[in-house]
A and B are shown apart, each in its own frame.
Chain A
Amino acid sequence: MDSALIPKGAKRCPFPVFALGIAVVGVVLLWGVYAMGLCWFKGLNQTNMDDYYGFALWIWADLAVIAIGGGAFFTGLLRYVFGIDELKNIINLAVVIGFICYSSALLILAIDVGQPLRSWFIFWHANVHSMLTEVAFCLSLYFSVLTIEFVPLILENRKLDKVPFFHNLGHNMHGVMAVFAATGAFLSCFHQGSLGGVAGVMYGRPFAFREGLLVWPWTFFLFTWSAAAYGPCFTLCVLKMFEKITKKKLVKDNVVHLLAKISGWMITTYIIAKIIDTVYWATVTAPSQGQTFMDFYSNNPFYGVWILVLEIVVCGIVPAVILTTQKFRENRKLLLVAIILGTFGVCLNRWVMVLQVMAAPVMTFDTWAMYIPSWQEVATTILPVAYGVILIALAYRYLPVFPQELELNADQQD
């Protein structure tokens, strides 16, 4: 039915099966859209946020998708700026994931603010001292860059490519992509960093506050580094999911292992920096404000030291060891464990830097604040996931996302 749109030679499931899958995910999407409508028309009283939890599930989701979408800018940097040619076989996937993650982040932000119609104030009345202003500018600009990076892939669609203008446009855009990749990396360094800075500059919140370099707290650099380190883990996770669902090999092992190795070394350096940061914060910064390390991890029903161990040891050191050791990363199961832990780890870091910051009391007579999201918050957080699944499924079906697919599946071609 839609065979004319499917990349030449590629095998895809029958259209009714595909449509059914999209419809199922579409129901979830509609559930999210309904919840989004409730939030927009009835207000944020639809959430379980309160005056202690001004930032909650959505801001975590925002930070998390931007972190795991970091594979786009980092892989782009490696491919186009550092010239690591093998990565051309996975860059399309990284860009599509990045596009989904960043568009999702913008959507979540649009739901999260109390007066969405005034969102443009952040540009018009910009406060140059605010990390959130930097986030808004760099995020919007980088999303534009991602769109520019995505367009050539769309233009490679079999039908579109037949139009000479689109064919030439796509070809020429490929030619200048290094410029956009470099721009994207530059912008990403700042918005990933400023998202870290959002927490780090809050000097009224000892759990979040960090000293730093010039106007940037250490969390600024840690967020950028962790997004670059863990972002490729998520790219590889999505690849593995694709391979499992389609029962095909889509990218050669050498490419996967190369990206895994780079990610492993990035995680290694990041986790060393994170440990130094944590030790300095626990022994110098927090005590200077009268608080001990254990003040932040006790006397509450949820946040214990386990969360720090899980983040740094289980989701940091373990994937770092696996991915930097050739024998381990070439073991399929261990590789899978490492990239899942890595993805989970960076999401956990963002959770801690948003939710635990809000939960920890500062005034001596205040208490820990706990929070459970409402169904509307959960639905609107799942909404971008459903949107992402639909978009990436469409991209896979109709666009040549994996350049090595035909070569690796020669026996299955139409």
Chain B
Amino acid sequence: MKQDKHGKNHKFGMVVDLDKCTGCGSCMVACMSENNVPFKEDESRKKDSITWMRVYKITNGKSFPETEICYMPRPCMHCGGKGDHGHSPCVSVCPAVATDYDHSSGIVSQIYTRCFGCRYCMGACPYHARYFNWWDPKWPEGMENYLSPDVSPRMRGVVEKCSFCFHRYQEARDRAYVEERDDIEEQEYQTACTQACPAGAITFGDLNNPDHEVYQMVEPDAHNCGKPKNPKAFRLLERLQTNPKVYYISEREWVRKAGDNYLEGEWEKVKNNHGNDHE
């Protein structure tokens, strides 16, 4: 089999249907288990806990009986950066190229053995998707045996984040190579959180492939840095031009509005053509 044809780039992304998410946290657990994410003995201080996938709880701010809640799973957004050229907020600032943008998959990598822990990438990421290993990773006795052999555990003093389960992509490609196929099938590469979600709220696939479900769900506009054409879809902090590859869908207007910052009166002008230019 030949390697992927030169120039045929994937753009892996995720779509989260917020109206389906129940906030159960299965995605978080699956992610931690799959990626050997360390945890602390005392997890009460959340701001130095490592949660590659974090589920935020947001509300419409109204009092009972009009209160509504939405759970918003937030992995790394794997931003394409301004112009979608791969200059993600974090990639462009890392002084040692310890995080990089893979143009063949659209995935933002983190090279743990290259990272020297300056944490500039964490400051640059508006989604707080990057985590620092403040502590040595420790697992309860015997649990080391259950660590995934496909993902290297990280050492103290380096930054880590969601990799879109990149090791699964490598595995799928290896399998395709052995079977002499040119490319992988949609279901061959799925992230752990996608598979663990009991409500089927998370969908994963290639945003460049019109046959993939993620493409059909959000209809990314290739001429507009992947902004969704689906008016019910949005990306977090779209206006910052980070161009994330994680999309959210909701029928609820207040949820879509919570995805970005708007000046007074702005939302009314853009709510029906969300995903197109805001100005």
Contact = CB atoms under 8 A, between A and B. Distances in A.
Contacts of B218: none
Given A43-B134, A50-B45, A290 B262 contact: yes
Q: Which of B58, B96, B98, B241 has the most CB of A within 10 A?
A: B96
B93 A114 contact: no
A205 B261 CA distance: 12
Main secondary structure of the interface of A (DSSP, over half): loop
A365 B56 contact: yes
A89 to B, nearest CB: 40
Interface string B220-255: 000000000000000011011110000000000000
Given A45-B135, A201-B93, 17 more contacts: A43-B136, A50-B45, A52-B47, A54-B123, A55-B120, A55-B123, A113-B117, A113-B118, A114-B132, A115-B155, A121-B96, A124-B96, A203-B241, A204-B89, A204-B126, A206-B240, A288-B279
Interface string A86-118: 000000000000000000000000001111101
A333 B236 CA distance: 53
Contacts of A203: 82, 89, 240-242
B116 A369 contact: no
Task: Tell me the interface secondary structure of chain B in the complex.
Answer: loop
Interface in A301-359: 357-358
Interface residues of A, number: 51
Contacts of B72: 365
A205 B95 contact: no
A50 B115 CA distance: 17
B117 A114 contact: yes
A129 B92 contact: yes
A281 to B, nearest CB: 15
B261 A364 contact: yes
Most A CB contacts (10 A, CB to CB) among B49, B116, B239 go to B116
Contacts of B153: none
A307 to B, nearest CB: 19
Contact of B157 (A43, A205, A295, A362): A43
B261 A289 contact: yes
B132 A44 contact: yes
Interface string B133-176: 11110000000000000000001111100000000000000000
